[in-house]
């Protein structure tokens, strides 16, 4: 399977060639852990999970090192800790565990490494020390600032001039800055904030230097792929490049820059800080997590995607059809095979998921229409193999059709269905109807068939109806 990736640095799709196919390295800027992740954060996690899966497929699971950091020192974390009167670690421990569980529900594999900023303060200080020593950074009034004038390539990733940056980013003009676009590597902590001793005064690191230091210590530069949401291109990734290249004297920091597009709701950016978000934590309890994953992958990762009840309903329908085809082929003792060529080609083309998904329906069609056992066997193996690469279609079809349920609800619904069955046998239709209404109120959809009734949860989107 060949892979091309759209590289933000060159603005072009480029054939992916790792520096060392036995050790393929990818770093993605991970969550700031002060509250629940919304579906937009989920989109970023799922997009890079797909890339991780594709890389593992091509180079072997052992050959890919994927590092996704946890930002556990940040103003918003401090604010949340202060508001709740708890230490910072109580917030960050809780929400990094919640993040892992929620992303796990979306089928996101654990990254190989998950470095936390607070565990790398020494590395951060070492890197800042190197930058100060070689004149790329300077200390002033308890701060250390990166001097953008020391790095001629500053602005290359985002394609911005220094004037644009000053205008666009509303950079803070502070008296201790030599240039208004110089950015903070270290700053004094305010009372009550976490604080570490340093040669430049007690304080804490800036956000950008954390990633540079964690990349250095967890992977080493240059890395093959650096990823994140496209909101991070400027200033975060621009600053990471400046820091890492100046500290390491490296001509290249990352060989490919991959950025996912944003998830919006009603055309507005979904954002943690504005509270305009559907939380993954809530949504996975209301709808099949696999349908959420499918919905997030249904647009190309670089394109914007608007979250809506229609999108989720469509995802559900698509999976119903595919699982239906697999159910029809339940008699064939087949395991996942290699993904079919047309599917692999689509996915290898800068992760073109819409095209790859269309190939799944072509396979489903074979299972729906063909009687030829050889053809059907190949189609089922292909569907399962392709699904594994996308991180879908790995459940028993019966489990899919039943839907995700908690045990308490399952026991209740099973009991209601039993009573309804008995009422019908006794021709007590009033009771049967009442139970049906009760099930509907529980958002349970009952499907009667000659073999008895099956059921699943109805649609819910987490968006206000
Ligand atoms: P945060 O926890 O806010 O620092 O974000 C974690 C990751 O999610 C970053 O890579 C962001 O770029 C990405 N992200 C945040 N909001 C969205 C969104 N609405 N759609 C897609 N990605 C997002
Ligand atoms: Zn970063």
Return the ligand 1 atom nearest residue 29 CA.
10
Ligand 1 close to Cβ of residue 32 (< 6 A): yes
Query: If pLDDT is split at 50, 70 and 90, which confidence band does 17 have?
Result: very high
| 369-386: pLDDT as tens digits | 999 999 999 999 999 999
**Atom 2 in ligand 1: residue holding the nearest Cα:** 31
Percent of the chain at pLDDT above 90? 80
- pLDDT(462) > 60: no
Percent of the chain at pLDDT above 70? 96
Residue (of 261, 242, 293) closest to 6 by Cα position: 261
Ligand 1 close to Cβ of residue 232 (< 6 A): yes
What's the pLDDT at 461? 47
Stretch among 21-30, 138-147, 157-166 having the lowest mean pLDDT: 157-166
| 299-354: pLDDT as tens digits | 999 999 999 999 999 999 999 999 999 999 999 999 899 999 999 999 999 999 99
**Atom 14 in ligand 1: residue holding the nearest Cα:** 41
**Atom 15 in ligand 1: residue holding the nearest Cα:** 41
Query: If pLDDT is split at 50, 70 and 90, which confidence band does 465 have?
Result: very low
- pLDDT(456) > 90: no
Return the ligand 1 atom nearest residue 261 CA.
21
Nearest ligand, CA 36: 1
């Amino acid at each position: 399977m060949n892979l091309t990736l759209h590289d933000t640095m060159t603005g072009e799709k480029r054939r992916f060639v790792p520096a060392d196919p036995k050790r393929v390295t990818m770093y993605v800027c991970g969550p700031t852990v002060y509250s629940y992740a919304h579906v937009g954060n989920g989109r970023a996690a799922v997009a890079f999970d797909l890339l991780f899966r594709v890389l593992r497929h091509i180079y072997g699971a052992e050959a890919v090192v994927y590092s996704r950091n946890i930002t556990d020192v940040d103003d918003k974390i401090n604010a949340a800790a202060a508001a709740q009167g708890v230490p910072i670690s109580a917030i960050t421990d809780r929400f990094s565990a919640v993040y892992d569980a929620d992303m796990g529900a979306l089928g996101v594999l654990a990254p190989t490494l998950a470095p936390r900023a607070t565990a790398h303060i020494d590395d951060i200080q070492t890197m800042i020390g190197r930058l100060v020593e070689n004149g790329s950074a300077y200390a002033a009034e308890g701060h250390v600032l990166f001097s953008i004038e020391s790095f001629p390539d500053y602005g290359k990733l985002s394609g911005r001039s220094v004037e644009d940056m000053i205008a666009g980013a509303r950079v803070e003009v502070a008296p201790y800055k030599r240039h208004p676009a110089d950015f903070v590597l270290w700053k004094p902590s305010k009372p009550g904030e976490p604080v570490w001793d340093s040669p430049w005064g007690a304080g804490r690191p800036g956000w950008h230097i954390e990633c540079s230091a964690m990349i250095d210590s967890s992977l080493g530069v240059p890395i093959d792929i650096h990823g994140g949401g496209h909101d991070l291109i400027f200033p975060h990734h621009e600053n990471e490049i400046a820091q890492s290249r100046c500290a390491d004297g490296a001509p290249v920091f990352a060989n490919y820059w991959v950025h996912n597009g944003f998830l919006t709701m009603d055309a507005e950016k979904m954002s943690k800080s504005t509270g305009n978000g559907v939380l993954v934590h809530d949504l996975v309890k209301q709808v099949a997590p696999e349908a959420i994953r499918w919905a997030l992958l249904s647009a190309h990762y670089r394109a914007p995607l608007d979250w809506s009840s229609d999108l989720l309903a469509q995802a559900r329908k698509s999976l119903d059809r595919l699982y239906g085809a697999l159910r029809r082929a339940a008699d064939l003792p087949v395991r996942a095979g290699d993904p079919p060529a047309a599917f692999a080609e689509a996915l290898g083309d800068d992760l073109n998921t819409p095209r790859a998904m269309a190939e799944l329906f072509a396979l489903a069609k074979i299972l729906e229409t063909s009687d030829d056992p050889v053809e059907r066997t190949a189609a089922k193996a292909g569907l399962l193999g392709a699904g594994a690469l996308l991180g879908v279609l790995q459940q028993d079809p019966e489990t899919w059709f039943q839907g995700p349920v908690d045990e308490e609800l399952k026991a209740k619904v099973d009991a209601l269905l039993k009573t309804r069955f008995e009422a019908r046998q006794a021709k007590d239709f009033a009771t049967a109807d009442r139970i049906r209404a009760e099930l509907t109120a529980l958002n349970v959809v009952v499907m009667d068939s000659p073999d008895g009734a099956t059921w699943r949860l109805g649609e819910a989107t987490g968006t206000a109806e």
